[in-house]
Amino acid sequence: MSRQYPRTSIAGPGGRVQPARPGDPSRIGPYRIIGRLGSGGMGTVHAGLTSDGLRVAVKVIHPAQAEDAEFRARFRREVQLSARVQGPCLVPLLAADPEAAEPWLATAYAPGPTLNQHLADDGPLADGTLYAFATGTAQALAAIHQAGVVHRDVKPQNVILTPAGPRVLDFGIARAADGTSVTRTGVMTGTPGWISPEYYRTSTAGPQGDMFAWGALVAYAATGRLPFGTGAPDAVAFRVISGDPDLDGVPEQLREILEKALAKDPSDRITAVSAAEACSRLLASQTTQVLGDGAGLEPTRVGELVTAEWNMPTLDDPTWHAPSPSSRKRVITTVLVAAAVIGGIVGAALAFPASGDSRGAGKTGAVERSAGPPTSSAATRAEGAAQRAQAAGAGDASEPSVDPRNAVIPTDQLAGVSDPAFTRAGDQSEPTSDEWRASTVASSSEEQGVDTAIRDQVAAMLTTKDLDFMKPTVTFNKRAQTVMVTGGPISQIPEEDQEVFRRAGEMAACTALAYRLKDHPATWPYGRFSISWKNFDGDLEPSTLGYGEATNGCYSVVAAQWQGDESGIATAWIPSSDRDEIRVASAADKAVTAAWNARIAEGNGLEPFSASDATDVGFDPVEKAAYVWARDTDGVLVGRAQRANFQDAVSTTLCQKLTAEYNGNKTWKYVRWSVAVYEGNSRIPELIGSGECTH
C-alpha cells in the first residue's frame, strides 16, 4: 500500500515542506531552515530543525509590518503572553526574537491537515473522534485562558489534526485578558463566521468570545457546515448577531454543550474549563477504558481520554528527513544533524521552555525528540540483526560466541573452493527486470534465514533515522544467483530517502550473503544482490537503485583502510532519533570545539571559526561511522597544515568519546570516523581523513 503524506497546510505547522525560495534564510536563530510551510497575513512560515532534529515552524514577520513600531510593540507583547501558555492540545511557543530586524517566533511542528482540509477531503468527524476533538480543543482554550491570554482567532485553519490529537495553534493576535496589550485603533481582528456577537457590536474580545468561536468550530467539525452559513461578511455578521446556529446533525448531548457556547449573551456562555469537563464525560462514555466519570479530571487524564479515542492516521513528510533533491552522489544541502543541544538565542531573543521545562532564557539543554524510540531500542535491534546475519551464514539460530560488533565480514569466500555453487563471481552485469520479475519469496529454511537477516538489518539501520517505514521485500532468483531487495511504493518520497534505503539494502544483503557463502560455498548459490524500488503498485519494471556482489567486501575500503564518502556523510546529516547517538554527538561536538580552541590558544597560527556552531557531528548507521564536518565560511582550513591539525584534533577527541561509549555500552557500534570540510558556501564536502578507533 502506498504511504500518503500530509497535504500542504495554509496555517504553517502541519503542512508538507515546500522548497525554499531565492532569498530565504538558511538559518533563523538556533534553527536550520530546510524549506517553507506556508505564508499568511503576518508573514512566512519556514520549516526548521533544531540541532538534535526536533521539527519546528518558524514564522518570520513581513518586513512592512516589522518596520511599523506599533506592530512591533504589539508583537513583543503577544510573544510574552504566548510564552505563558502551556497545556494539552496546544502547539507551544519554543523561542522568539521580537527585536530582530525581521522578528520571528518558533513553535513546535504539528504534522497533519487543518480541520478545514480534513473536512474537505474526508468529511465530518464522528463518534469518539468528534468528542476527542471537542474535549481537546476546549482543554487547550482552558489552558490559554488560565494563563490570562485570549486566543482571538479560533477557526478551522488554526486547528491541526495530528496523529496524537487536535492541536490549537497561532497565538499571533493574542491579547491579555485584562486589556493591557497594545492595540491598533480601527482594526478588526478575526475571521467572519468565527467572530462573537459582542465583538461585532462593541469590539469586546475576551475568553467568552473564544468560547463562541469554539462552539462554531465543534459544530463545523461535526457537520461539515458553517453554523452561521456563508456569503458576504455583512450577511454572516447579521446571522451571528441575531440568528440561530445550524446545529442539525450534531449529537444531542454535544449539541446541548454547543448551545451554551453559542449563546448571544457572553455571560450565559459555558467556560472552557466547564466545556472540557462536559465533553470529557461524553468522551469517557465512548471508550472502553473509562477514566472515572470525566468530571474534575487532571489535564493529563483528559489527554489520555483524547488519545484513547482519537483516530487519525500517522502522517509524515519525508522531505523533513533529508536535504533537497540531489544526484545519487549526494550534493549536501541544509539539513540538521542530530548532534548538539539547542542553545540560548543571542542578542535580544527570548528563549522559552517547552512542556514544563524550567530552563530560562539564555540557558542550554538537550531537546529530545518526543517521537523517538526508547534509548536503546534501535541499538538493541541492530545488535540482534547482526547476530541473525551471522546465524543465517552458519545455518542455525545459535548466538555467536564473540561480540557481534567485532565480527569481520568475510571476503574472497570462494578462494580454494573447487566447485562453488555460486558461479557468477566477477559478473558486473546489472540484474534485469526480467530477473526481478522471475524472483520468488524464500522457500527453503536457508533462504528464509537470509530473508529475515536482511529485513532485520535494514530496519535496524533505518530506525535510527526515522526511516523504518520503508519496509523491504526480499525475493530470490536462483538462475540469476541474485537476491532482490525491493522497496516502495511510497508516494512523494524524496531521492535522498531512497538513497539511504539503497545503502541499507546493499549492506544488509552483502553481509548476510557473505556469511552464508563463507560457511556453505559448495551449496549456497546466491552471491549477488540487487536493490530496487517500485514506483507504484503493480510496477513490473522497478527502478534499480544499486547492485553488487558479496565476495568483494561490504565496506568502503581504500588501501586496506576504511574510507568515508559523500553517501555516508549525507546519511549522517539526517537527524537521529536514537538517544544514545544524540547524547554522544552532543558531547563529541562540544569536545571537538574545545580541542580546536585549545590548539588555537597554543599559538600555532590557527584561527577560530567565526560561527560558534561551525562543526557538527552525525552518524551513518550503514557503515557504522561517525562523521564530523566543519562549515568553513572564512577559509580557516584552506591550508594543508590547518587541515592536518583539524583532522588530528577531531580524530583524537572523537575516538575518545566513541571508544568510551563502545566499552561501556554493549549496543554501541560506532568506532569508525571521518572528517569533512565545506569550503565557503560550497555544498560539496571535501573528506580530509577517515579511520577506525582502537577499542
CATH number at residue 284: 1.10.510.10
3-state SS, residue 233: helix
Residue 56 inside a domain? The answer is no
Q: Do 520 and 663 have their domain in common?
A: no
Alpha-carbon torsion 461, 463, 466, 468, what sign? positive
Which tens digit of pLDDT belongs to each residue from 601-657? 887 778 888 777 788 899 999 999 999 998 888 788 888 888 888 899 999 999 999
Residue 22 inside a domain? The answer is no
Q: Do 481 and 586 have their domain in common?
A: no
**Domain-ending residue, one of 529, 554, 579:** 554
3-state SS, residue 267: helix
Which tens digit of pLDDT belongs to each residue from 423-444? 988 888 889 999 999 999 999 9
Q: Do 205 and 290 have their domain in common?
A: yes
Phi, psi of 528 (to 5 degrees): -110, 155
pLDDT score of 160 more than 70: yes
pLDDT score of 565 more than 80: yes
Q: Do 632 and 678 have their domain in common?
A: yes
Phi, psi of 391 (to 5 degrees): -65, -40
Reading the block at residue 128, the C-alpha cell is 469518539
DSSP letter (8 states) at residue 413: T
3-state SS, residue 473: strand
Cβ-Cβ contacts under 8 Å for 515 (sequence gap 6 or more): 389, 390, 392, 393, 394, 409, 410
Alpha-carbon torsion 430, 432, 435, 441, what sign? positive
Q: Do 579 and 474 have their domain in common?
A: no
CB contact at 8 A, 508 and 487: no
Total domains present in the chain: 3
Total-model pTM: 0.49
Q: Do 535 and 572 have their domain in common?
A: no
The DSSP-derived string for 444-459 is SHHHHHHHHHHHHHHH
Residue 145 inside a domain? The answer is yes
How many percent of the chain have pLDDT more than 70? 78
Q: Do 242 and 115 have their domain in common?
A: yes
Other Cβ atoms within 10 Å of 561 Cβ, number: 10
**What is the residue range of 671's domain?**
566-692
Kindly indicate the confidence band of residue 12, based on its pLDDT and cuts at 50, 70 and 90: very low
pLDDT of residue 81: 75
Residue with cell 563502545: 662
Reading the block at residue 157, the C-alpha cell is 485553519
pLDDT of residue 203: 74
pLDDT score of 330 more than 70: no
Q: Do 395 and 308 have their domain in common?
A: no
Residue 201 inside a domain? The answer is yes
**Domain-ending residue, one of 285, 320, 355:** 320
Q: Do 434 and 469 have their domain in common?
A: yes
| Nearest by Cα to 618 from 585, 660, 587, 596 | 585
pLDDT of residue 362: 29
Choice among 398-407, 547-556, 574-583 with the minimum mean pLDDT: 398-407
Q: Which residue has the higher pLDDT, 50 or 370?
A: 50
Residue 26 inside a domain? The answer is no
Q: Are strands 625-632 and 672-679 parallel, antiparallel or unpaired?
A: parallel
Residue 367 inside a domain? The answer is no
Residue 488 inside a domain? The answer is yes
Reading the block at residue 300, the C-alpha cell is 493529563
Q: Do 538 and 576 have their domain in common?
A: no
Q: Do 631 and 503 have their domain in common?
A: no
Alpha-carbon torsion 529, 534, 540, 541, what sign? negative
Cβ-Cβ contacts under 8 Å for 428 (sequence gap 6 or more): none
Q: Do 426 and 489 have their domain in common?
A: yes
**Domain-ending residue, one of 554, 575, 600:** 554
Residue 549 inside a domain? The answer is yes
